[in-house]
Structure 1
Amino acid sequence: MRNFWGLMRAYWFSSSWKEAWTLTVVIALLTALSSKAGVWFAEASGELINSIAFFHDAANTTPLTSLLENAAFLVGLVVIKDAGITGSRTYISATLHRRWRAWLDNRFNEALLDANHSHFHAQHGAGTPAPDNIDQRVQESIKDMTGGAIGLAMGVMAVATSLYFVGQKLISSSTEVAGLEFLGSYGSAVLAFVAVAVYVPLNTWIAVKLGGMLEQLSIRMQRAEGSYRGELTTLLRRSFHVAASRGEDVQKAMHERLYVDIDQTWGRHNIVSASYASFERVYNFVGARIVAYGPGLIPFVHNRIDLKGYITGAELVNALISQCSWFIHVMPAIATLRANSKRVIEVAVAIENVQKPDEFYRRTGRSEFRRTSQNPVFGLTIQNLELAHEGHDTTPFLAIDQLRFRRGEWIFLRGESGCGKTSLLKAINGLWPYGRGTIVLPEGVKSFYAAQDVRLPQVSLKEQVCLPDAPKDHSDARVAAALHKAGLGEFIEHLGDVTRQGKGWDQQLSGGQKQKLVVARILLQQPGLLFLDEASAALDPEGKIAFHQAIKDNCPNATVVSIMHEATPPRSASGTEFYDSVVTIADGTVIKKPLQPPLPAEITEILNRPAMRQPTRSPAMEEGWRRIARLRLKQK
């Protein structure tokens, strides 16, 4: 689906091909029947006009009966054609539209939300800008594109069948034309075909030029609308921050600036659309009233055909012009179709490009990560790791020769802002694009990444807790127990609710409650490898302790790597350290040390006595005094 025709035919050559081709064949048959009905309509119109013209003729013994019968037949034919044939075709084509759109939507959802994290990589854009407003492309653009494509195909079918049926009738009713005797009895048919062949292509060329302008304006309009809608969506998520900072005027100015692009593009689009509408109305009048009646006028004047034949021939030419002009009538829709297909194709290309993330990122930088596994007894190992930014000649901002995290070890990761703490966690989880090195994960061990910013999807509370598993994978009792241990027991009775008090859970829960919800997920998932990226930042000190204690009590064998704002990690209520070691990142290097347990208050008091305070104490003397202090404490 990387090009227009590939995108158009994918559904018809997929596993759903029987459904696609069945609906298509039915539409084709109904279209052919509609074109044949157009011939019948032209003949019936000729009969009705003829009965009107000869209403007072002496030879017409039943003028009123003939007039009413012809009028009734014409009305009945219109009802059958428009209500029966066209109505059925509209329903079948709408069904095809619905099924095709559903198939494409499902393909894009599967491709974006695969285990490769394509949705994440596609938005990083290596070398070219990432597709904007993917939500709009996957939903609105696919919907409009599929509808436009089906309309286009139906129009092509109508042109082909009309040329066959209408052309056949024109040829069979053709007569000699004065001045074109060398054509014999095909004179009037040739004249009609020439008129259509000159009039339609010339005006189609004009329509294509105007359509190209509409296409460009449609693409720009979609981008402008997407940017404006994206900002409004973002506003809803940070509404409190805007209100708290009294930033309404700044936000308003931003919206006004974004809408200016919409308004200006819309204005230009309206000018071209109005011009096209005017061109189309003039074209329709000239085609239906001049071009259609012109070819038959010469044989009618020379008495080669009667009024009935003249009207019938004119209606046939008009039908032929109308069908062949379908391309002109739908040019605005075709312009929109092309604009939508381009936006959909860009997403498909972006997804295809990131199927091999390393190769994708190597276009704009160095990406040579190697991920392997080892016996879980040995924990997590990092070797010769270098993290860099985009660019082939960039200097690594973080370098690690070797770093090992034992099974069940708790590691506190600290360093100044921007030193690379979060980048390291992303690299371990395959979410940092540039650099090199080897990451050896414990084989068969489930990992869990908990970030500071928690965004909740619009699903039930049970589904929120079960993520990334399905709700059926965990009983209500287990989910309720996880919520209770995480400190959200008051919400247990709402497990099946998608909203509470008219609000989704993303709006209903506070920042701290969302982080407690993450704890519930951890307790339910029981990961063996846990990454906490400021995952308790929204909690108060007591909440942080409860956060860690719940994990410590319920995931005893988990290896935990944690980033926090605090200079020192929290301890349990009894003063016991949660963490075993501390990893310090400074100046692009990493140092890992065991976390020294705090000295009891009695030892601290002994070390602070005047006799113990010697400014020239060496590290060895310092450690000796600590041992002496501990010994004295035991003797007490």
Structure 2
Amino acid sequence: MSGSSMCAQARALAKTPQRHAIWQLIKPFWVSEERWRAWMMLIAIVVLSLGLVYISVQINQWNQVFYDALQNKNYPVFKAQLWRFTYLALIFIVLAVYKIYLTQGLQMRWRRWMTERFMGKWLAHQAYYHTEQQQIVDNPDQRIAEDLNVLTQYTLSLSLGLLSSLVTLFSFIDILWHVSGPMTFALGQHAITLPGYMVWFALLYAVLGSLLIWWVGKPLVMLGFNQERYEANFRFGLIRIRENNDAIALYHGEPREAQQLGDRFDTIRSNWWAIMRITRRLNIATNFYGQFAIVFPLLVAAPRYFSGAIQMGGLMQIASAFGQVQGALSWFIDAFNDLATWKACVNRLAGFNAAVDQVHHQPRGIQLREETAHPLTLDNLSLHLPDGQPLLTGAEMTLQRGDRLLIVGPSGCGKSTLLRAIAGIWPYGAGAIGVEGNANMLFLPQRSYIPIGTLREALSYPSLASEYSDAQLMRVLENCRLKHLQRWLDTSANWSHRLSPGEQQRLAFARALLIRPSILFLDEATSALDDETEQLMYCLLVDELPDVTLVSVAHRNSVAKYHQTCWRFSRGEDQPARLALSPLPA
């Protein structure tokens, strides 16, 4: 996928209304097997939030009594109110601490559940493989590792913040309505009385501020979406250098890698400067709004104070209640940055979820069926590329138990793709592949996967290391000319970097001798071995696994003598290949 098309996809995801997609992301956890504990924790958090609002109401009432006592120089009331404030503050602290504690616990529980669910979907049906092949989603690792964290954290904080703001609003709006009293002003020849006038001022102030903040900060959603993608692309480039350090060093490719990394970082920098410019304007607006809100209620309520309609305590109570109402009405303003981050994260997760679902529901052109009489059959099999370009057409084949088949043909004709189709991970094409129901298939590609961990775990993969004894592991290492590695069995390392390509291929053969599959596929699995070692590996397979059905893809004629039949890919110009029986190469 080109950079422009990926950008177009990102823009489409960021702008598409996704109410249903948002609900599909949030809902499953709350109806899952974790629902009872999750709801109990959420209810406890809500109760604590309501308790915090109640304490805030009590402190607001305390303001009037305390400041009236100051104005009237009433020392006994002043002292009593200090004690009252002490226990109100202690209760507030306890409620606030445990609200945060339970919220963090619920967030981690939710994140763990969603991480397991998303990882399961991504790994199921080889979705991780197909999404990369089709390039329909970028940086899935980041979406699982980071975006799920943001989703759970911000969904809880924003929703609980909104709930707290609504409860605060309804709790203090009545107080503000009564303590502010009416305001009478002349409009032309008419005198108009506005009851609870401070409520209307708070509402007008918050609405105008929210509209201003939304207008200034709206571009942050798309910029945040792009920033996450650019950061992930840059990290992926760094990881690629680590994974391919040997080849890059041999090519002396450092200048080219530096240029590519520099270009990727330039996109981060450019987008970041755009975020900075929007954030600067947003901070100007929010800081002006927040600072002016401190003095605004005092200015509006000052005429009633100086006229003697209210005392100092009433003025402070009005200022406090106005601040609570205005703060509640300003939830959107205070949460705008978090909302922009949350929305960009939701867009990315919704896109990831849709891409994985698309793979799961993608119709299979190649049918896989269970065979009873033969280990492997191909029935009018055709192979296509994901874009529909034909690779192979009309393949027919039947293998018997113990057959050893060599597949040859020019590079790029589809030999490895045929093995992927037999493995069930290549759905593009038509026809059918039959595999014996109880068959234990093992595929050894040119470059086998070696997990990070102990050599024992790498040798046993994909089985558990506990399934094999030390004697079995030592024996296959010695047979595959890897005796020098026996002392490292329980050493953890990145063995794909510590072992040479030849050692890695011999390790793959050792796996085959351990697992003892009924059908073994070798895809250029000896390309890094010298002739003598290659002959040894094939001799081991023939001697140790005499009943295995062996299918080899190879370019070297030297391995032909270990096979009984040969099928050759042949194709004309601009024509899909055909698979036909051919004499074994001399």
Task: Answer yes or no: is 1:22 the counterpart of 2:22.
Answer: no
Deviates more, 1:472-481 or 1:514-523: 472-481
Residue 523 of structure 1 and its aligned partner are, at CA, apart by: 1.6
Q: C-alpha offsets along residues 309-352 of structure 1, whole Å, 9 cap, x if unaligned?
A: 12112101111212321221111111001111111111111111
Deviations 1:92-128 (A, max 9, x none): 11111111111110001111112x1111122233xxx
Give the aligned partner of residue 308 of structure 1.
313
Ranges in structure 2 where 5+ consecutive residues have no aligned partner: 1-17, 187-192, 572-576
Q: How many residues were matched structurally?
A: 557
Of the three residues 335, 359, 364, the one matched with 1:330 is 335
Contact kept, 8 Å, 1:32 with 1:157, in 2: the verdict is no
**CA spacing shift, 1:508–1:401, aligned 2, 3 Å:** closer
Note if 1:552 corresponds to 2:548. Answer: no
CA–CA distance in structure 1, aligned partners of residues 310 and 470 of structure 2: 85
Cα deviation, residue 535, structure 1:
1.3
Q: Per-residue deviation at 1:67? A: 4.3
Greater CA drift, 292-301 or 327-336: 292-301
* Contact map agreement 1:382 1:400 (CA 8 A) in 2: no
Aligned with 2:353 (options 348, 353, 360): 348
Q: Secondary structure at the match of 1:123?
A: helix
Partner of 2:524: 534
The structure with higher relative contact order (CA 8 Å, sep 6+) is 2
1:133 Cα deviation after fit: 0.5
Residues in 1 aligned to 2:194 and 2:294: alpha-carbon distance in whole angstroms:
17
* 1:89 equivalenced with 2:73 (yes/no): no
Q: What is the aligned-residue identity percentage?
A: 23
Structure 2 residue matching 1:14: 3-state secondary structure: coil
Query: What residue is the counterpart of 2:250 in the other structure?
Result: 244
Q: Is the aligned partner of 1:80 residue 2:91?
A: yes
Cα-to-partner distance string for 1:519-559 (whole Å, 9 max, x where unaligned): 22212221111111111212222221222222222222111
Question: What amino acid does structure 2 have at the position aligned with 1:452?
Answer: Q
The 1:531/1:319 distance shift into structure 2, 3 A limit, reads: same
Alpha-carbon RMSD across the aligned residues, in angstroms, is 2.4
Note the residue ranges of structure 1 that are not aligned, 5 or more in a row: 181-186, 360-366, 572-576, 599-636
CA distance, structure 1, for counterparts of residue 460 and residue 77 of structure 2: 76
Q: AA paired with 2:581? A: K
Measure, in 2, the Cα distance between the counterparts of 1:87 and 1:189.
Answer: 39
Cα distance in 2 for partners of 1:275, 1:96 equals: 35
SS at match of 2:290: helix
The separation in 1 between residues aligned to 2:473 and 2:68, in whole angstroms, is: 81
Cα pair distance change 1:78/1:323, threshold 3 Å: farther
- Closer, same or farther: CA 390–178 of 1 in aligned 2, 3 Å: closer
Distance 1:242 1:427, change over 3 A: same
What is the distance in 1 between the residues matched to 2:59 and 2:478?
A: 75
Aligned to 1:370: 367
Asked if 1:161 is matched to 2:167, the reply is yes
Is the partner of 2:453 in helix, strand or coil?
coil
Give the C-alpha shift of residue 32 in structure 1: 0.7
1:442 corresponds, among 436, 442, 458, to 436
Give 1:362's aligned residue.
none
Q: TM-score, normalised by structure 2?
A: 0.89
Cα shift at 1:227:
1.1
Native 8 Å contact 2:476 2:510 kept in 1: yes
Q: Deviations 1:197-218 (Å, cap 9, x if unpaired)?
A: 2111221122223332111111
CA displacement at 1:485 relative to structure 2: 3.2
* Match of residue 122 from structure 1: 131
Q: CA deviation at 1:477?
A: 4.0
The answer to whether the Cα contact below 8 Å between 1:155 and 1:327 also exists between their aligned partners in 2 is no
Q: 2:23: which partner in 1?
A: 5
- Say whether residues 1:106 and 2:124 are aligned partners: no
Structure 2 residue 51 is matched with structure 1 residue 33? yes
1:399 lines up with 2:386 in the alignment: no
CA distance in 2, matches of 1:346, 1:457: 29
- TM-superposed CA distance for 1:493, in Å, is 4.1
1:350-392 CA distances to partner (integer Å, 9 max, x unpaired)? 11111134x2xxxxxxx621221222x5231112112223445
CA distance in 2, matches of 1:452, 1:67: 84
Alignment of 1:54-453 (within 5 A): 54-55=72-73, 60=74, 62=75, 66-67=77-78, 69-71=80-82, 73-74=84-85, 76-81=87-92, 83-114=93-124, 116-125=125-134, 129-171=135-177, 173=179, 175-179=181-185, 190-290=196-296, 292-294=297-299, 296-357=301-362, 359=363, 368-375=365-372, 377-391=373-387, 394=389, 396-453=390-447
Distance 2:84 2:478 in 1: 76
Query: Partner of 1:397: helix, strand, or coil?
Result: strand
On the 8 A contact 2:68/2:311 being kept in 1, the answer is no
Take 1:167 and 1:482, find their aligned partners in 2: how far apart are those partners? 79
In the alignment, residue 538 of structure 2 is paired with which amino acid?
Answer: H
* Superposition deviation, residue 73 in structure 1: 4.1
Secondary structure of the residue that 1:368 maps to in structure 2? Answer: coil
* Greater gyration radius: 1
Q: How far is 1:80 from its partner?
A: 3.4
Alpha-carbon shift at residue 137 of structure 1 (Å):
0.7
TM-score, normalised with respect to structure 1: 0.82
Q: Is 1:589 equivalent to 2:578 in the alignment?
A: yes
Pair 1:472–1:293, CA change in 2 (3 A)? farther
